[in-house]
Structure 1
């Protein structure tokens, strides 16, 4: 099989926020997305479980012709990407909470991080946080339950509002001026988060940086598509109910293919 697609995987639909940034920056590249929704959320799983699920997703993407793999999941990146890089002969792009820009730009010297338990408890997150947050107050909040509601298509539900009000209380009690989103599902909550905080709060995620890094690595490896005659194909696979993924990807029309696949 010719390896001609950017492979992307996440523990569900959240990584589509990363896919959007990649597709916008590299519209002529083919992309193949795996939503491992049947095993979501990864954030409550053990490190070994996360590694095994990440291996499974990687193997499937390689079977589907991936020339590079984007781990569009903070929890999988922080817990499994080192193992993936040591085992598979393909470039990997990871995703981490954007702590560095928040720490450097904060004027109140107080930042918030909304992430999964799996990300916040990982060694990579701890190392990154210690490197950039000296002298800052960091309010870490586990977004327990958020991924499940997003996966169920309940972003704008009353249930989501109640959960957010509960989870965000420690952040509202502190003068944070930056909120770092440490899960690729969470960018879909930005409209709700903006309703609940001052307009002065800056909310940042890693999507744009991941897209730029993907382009850089493709260029360095000589893998960048230079045929600009037509836009690349974009195919999405899920091992659960495809309706929510389809709604996220195709809100107005059926431009992109969404298929159910056992993996």
Structure 2
């Protein structure tokens, strides 16, 4: 039994989509979430910069006695997680686009991936595609501008709708029947995507799989919290608290959002 918190970080508010899955599956666990919105999106940063930012985030989580770290960012996972595992002794959970389930389920054998530049250009992404998508056509689409709009709270804006429509149309024309969301910000786009995509297109993200892997690793290392307690959650952002608080409104967590200059 280990009642220390789970640490979670992302290049902004997107990783709360991962946090929500973790707290649903593991309601006894305390969580500390860092939103590095000041440096979002990581997908536009260099590999060296992503490693430096990820290291800074981990140091903040360790200073709050976190027992593990969830890298709730596809770009940070693909660029920095091996470095983090080599330099820190706590367990790390990473994220990668859910290409395997999409490839297994696709009827048209054409799968779209919406992700950041940093994820699509990574060696981990290409090895995952090669290992799990034999015989499948993978359509890669860089989601330029989407993270910035989400971070600004513009989830229903005409600009967001227009961008998504321009990104989806070419993939639909090529026969895509599954869309993989390769950024933890992107699950917040699902309501708009539902308006754009036909019903035969299945949207897949990694949230539930990451939560299950988090539980597996906690069990493996005997780090699960006391089952008789209710988890507590704290959120930190290094930019205006309003957007993060708004995303957390459905969970009644607005009052748990704090500013931290990191």
3-state DSSP of counterpart to 1:66: coil
Q: CA deviation at 1:163?
A: 1.3
Q: Which residue of 2 aligns with 1:231?
A: 230
Q: Which residue of 2 aligns with 1:214?
A: 214
Gaps of 5+ in 1: none
TM-score (norm 2): 0.97
3-state DSSP of counterpart to 2:67: strand
TM-score (norm 1): 0.96
Deviation by residue 1:81-137 (Cα, 9 ceiling, x = unmatched): 000000001000000000000011111110100000000000100110111122111
Conservation of the 8 A alpha-carbon contact between 1:179 and 1:202: yes
Conservation of the 8 A alpha-carbon contact between 1:96 and 1:125: yes
Deviation by residue 1:44-99 (Cα, 9 ceiling, x = unmatched): 11111100000000000000111010000000000100000000010000000000
RMSD across aligned positions (CA):
1.3
Conservation of the 8 A alpha-carbon contact between 1:117 and 1:142: yes
Q: CA deviation at 1:253?
A: 4.1
Q: Which residue of 1 aligns with 2:49?
A: 49
The answer on 1:142 being equivalent to 2:142 is: yes
Q: CA deviation at 1:200?
A: 1.3
The answer on 1:114 being equivalent to 2:114 is: yes
Which 10-residue stretch deviates more, 169-178 or 54-63? 169-178
Gaps of 5+ in 2: none
Q: Which residue of 1 aligns with 2:36?
A: 36
User: Whole-Å Cα distance in 2 between the matches of residues 64 and 14 of structure 1?
Assistant: 21
Q: Which residue of 2 aligns with 1:258?
A: 257
Matches within 5 A, 1:179-190: 179-190=179-190
Residues 239, 197 of structure 1: alpha-carbon distance in 2 compared, 3 angstrom cutoff = same
3-state DSSP of counterpart to 1:14: coil
Q: CA deviation at 1:176?
A: 1.0
User: Whole-Å Cα distance in 2 between the matches of residues 260 and 85 of structure 1?
Assistant: 28
